[in-house]
Amino acid sequence: MIDCIPSDATTWTIVHRVAFHETDAMGIVHHSNYLRYCENARVAWLETHDKSYSEWIGTGLHFAVTHAELDYRRPARFDDRLEVTTWLEWVRGASLAMAYTIVCRSEILVTGRTEHASINDEGKVRRIPREDRLRLSASALAAHAPDRQREDALPSRTRPSRSGSLRAHPPAPTSVPARHRDGRG
pLDDT of residue 3: 75
The CA-CA-CA angle for residues 129, 130, 135, to 5°, reads 100
| Span 9-15, average pLDDT | 96
The residue that leads in pLDDT, 167 or 6, is: 6
Residue 143 pLDDT exceeds 60: yes
- Does pLDDT of 125 surpass 70? yes
Q: How far is CA 149 from CA 37, 96, 137, in A?
A: 35, 17, 12
Helix H segments across 33-92? 33-49, 53-58
Q: Which of 24, 79, 121, 147 is catalytic?
A: 24
Quick one: which of 52, 113, 40, 114 has its CA closest to 83? 40
CA distance 126 to 57: 13
Largest CA-CA distance found in the chain, in angstroms, rounded: 66
pLDDT-based confidence at residue 2 (cuts at 50, 70, 90): low
Q: Cα separation of 62 and 105, whole Å? A: 34
What is the per-residue DSSP string for 136-159? HHTTS-TTT---HHHHHHS-TTEE
80 a catalytic residue: no
Highest mean pLDDT among 5-9, 100-104, 153-157: 100-104
Strands (DSSP E) along the chain, which ranges?
Answer: 11-17, 62-72, 81-91, 95-104, 107-119, 158-160, 166-168
Residue 142: predicted pLDDT: 80
Percent of the chain with pLDDT strictly greater than 90: 73
Name all domains of the chain by residue range, CATH numbers in brackets: 11-153 (3.10.129.10)
Is residue 172 very low, low, confident or very high in pLDDT (cuts 50, 70, 90)? very low
The pLDDT score that the predictor gives to residue 1 is 52
- pLDDT at position 146 over 80: no
